[in-house]
Structure 1
């Protein structure tokens, strides 16, 4: 099946004007002028999507999401349920990277890997980090190196917690060993091999990372720190290490992404080393696009400034091959946004329509054999929540 998208203003994520996009076998076959009569002469089935009045952008990549749900840090009854594909793709996210957090007892690596494989079966790109807050991280095959090398979906280790009362306070040697194992595993398997670092709210901030870098043969580019938007001092320390090569991530849980992206840029942060994630557990995946959209519509950022933080930057940093851009031979992950409002109109994952005219066209595979009825709607408390 071929899909021809016509009339849309394309961001690759760089703006390239009105272009046609031809999808073939789940990938981008061409960006530019496409001769529809030539397709007809081939005799192949094809669908035409009129994207007039729309902006066409790459599918969004969420590098940090608790796919199995939150840990329930105030009691077993406060655990949150796992996420379903319909909760993810409806907000333009076509690639997710799942992670465990403080709880590696009830939320296990085997369970996370199974969830990732299930999402892949349903048509989106899904990966995971191996481990959790613990050092050495929990793994499936025995070490993070083996997980990265031999499990396709595992791209790195984490989220390892530092500067947090829930962390095991890893010493520099432990962290250096974990980083080396992950790096070597990534090098041998042609993967990112990063250690994904959870930055807590302790005054220690990133001090242990600096100790690792000062005392061991470890490079800043082997780490990928998240939750760096907690304080201005933490952002400044993250910028310092980022300018030495460490990529960084900001989550959107608190709803103030515009403030922290501005602070990053105004204080010398490299925009190409910054990504945005949902940290979905208590809050959902929809905040990613909601916050990016508000940055553009209400806070003076341009679309070309913000899009790379949820597309190209993430794909490059995590070495997710053929993802994060609209380019020939890249995976056919696209989102079509309404001009002006930037509301999501269509979502395509791997060449397959998942959202059409704002309505889901996919559903969880298990529903066809189930008589369950589930109707849940969260009532977020004023002020928000940050439950990893």
Structure 2
């Protein structure tokens, strides 16, 4: 925690949804943790204390973004289309307090060592960070030379990804290649107490999730070992992922993939969540990530890049808002998709994804219009009155 901030913060009179509805209560932050929750909490005596009245506001757990291109993504349109590294304030003002970094298409000019260094840097600046080892291709880049060793030995590595499937940018691996990689990740996770999850990038290829169903058919590799993402990129893929989730898998909807972002065939993320729930997918099997800071290439029918944008993490809050305001999903259910569901899938629960005594003090505050007003990450006040008050080392303060 920053030495300039008080050790204690007392947040008063907010409605708490964490993600269970706790009603109007106070929260006492002590250092990096939530120390107490209750009505009319007493102020600790003899300490420097920040006391904030949040009457009329709602407190939620900080969002967990399980798919972020921390050191940039893209490059499919040439060197000039490589996106830059992510900045602290861009993360916090999106309501994200925990993020998992990954490489993407480019595992050649971007490196695992650089990703690990960036994750450590963001951690020093106040966020909670993890990473996946690997990139699109198989064999996939690692630090130690082994996916299993990376997961076991390197603290921040919790799985492997993003591995491309059904995409013209993949290495076109076989079913056996995918199985061996998943087995390495699974055993690495078991031996280190981590998720060992395989973050699986799904493209527009006609095979869709076919190989994922085949890989998990005999039960040796459970569906829960995989986190297939970008499943809302087209209607066919969304339908396949709904069946996957009904059979015990997890479906990860990408908030940055939507018709508004230039993906004409995509299903709006909030609508995709509603469709999944209506189809009978258990709420616990749905997660959402942003693909933040990655490039959003637009391809023509021949696979040539005809445009490119940059995915923003702010889309997560926007889609949660739309779940509630447009799709009629309760706020408690909506925020589970970006908090507790993700924490449990990645084995970060109960330190992450909840508002509870003893959990990390990752807290966001929204007003009655569902606009973000405040953010605390591990007890550090990052956003106040909707503006960043903590900045990355090389950021220009606004």
TM-score, length basis structure 1: 0.91
Alpha-carbon distance in 2 for matches of 1:82, 1:374: 17
Q: Counterparts of 1:139-154 in structure 2 under 5 Å? A: 139-154=142-157
CA 1:176/1:216 → structure 2, altered by over 3 Å: closer, same or farther? Answer: farther
Matched, 1:222 2:225: yes
User: What whole-Å deviation, never above 9, does each CA across 1:97-139 have from its counterpart, x for those lacking one?
Assistant: 1111111011111111111110000000011111011113211
Alpha-carbon distance in 2 for matches of 1:48, 1:191: 37
Q: Secondary structure at the match of 1:229?
A: coil
User: What whole-Å deviation, never above 9, does each CA across 1:321-348 have from its counterpart, x for those lacking one?
Assistant: 4000001110000001102x01111100
Shift of 1:226: 0.3
For structure 1, list consecutive stretches of 5 or more residues without a partner in the other structure: 368-372, 376-388
* Counterpart in the other structure of 2:291: 279
For structure 2, list consecutive stretches of 5 or more residues without a partner in the other structure: 1-6, 261-267, 295-309
Q: Counterparts of 1:127-206 in structure 2 under 5 Å? A: 127-206=130-209
Alpha-carbon distance in 2 for matches of 1:209, 1:299: 30
Alpha-carbon distance in 1 for matches of 2:281, 2:243: 8
Q: Secondary structure at the match of 1:288?
A: helix
User: What whole-Å deviation, never above 9, does each CA across 1:343-385 have from its counterpart, x for those lacking one?
Assistant: 1111000001000111111111235xxxxx799xxxxxxxxxx
Correspondent of 1:19 among 19, 25, 40: 25
Alpha-carbon distance in 2 for matches of 1:299, 1:210: 30
User: What whole-Å deviation, never above 9, does each CA across 1:181-224 have from its counterpart, x for those lacking one?
Assistant: 10111111111101111111111001111221236722111111
* Counterpart in the other structure of 1:370: none
Shift of 1:229: 0.9
* Counterpart in the other structure of 2:279: 267
* Counterpart in the other structure of 2:299: none
Matched-pair contact (CA < 8 Å) for 1:26–1:331: yes
Matched, 1:100 2:103: yes
Matched, 1:310 2:338: yes
Alpha-carbon distance in 2 for matches of 1:108, 1:270: 37
TM-score, length basis structure 2: 0.89
RMSD: 1.6
* Counterpart in the other structure of 1:31: 37
**Alignment coverage as a number of residue pairs:** 366
Shift of 1:239: 2.3
Shift of 1:50: 0.8
* Counterpart in the other structure of 1:383: none
Structure 1 stretches of 4+ with a deviation exceeding 6 A read none
Alpha-carbon distance in 2 for matches of 1:202, 1:35: 56
User: What whole-Å deviation, never above 9, does each CA across 1:243-267 have from its counterpart, x for those lacking one?
Assistant: 3322121101215112211111122
Shift of 1:300: 2.1
Matched, 1:338 2:364: no
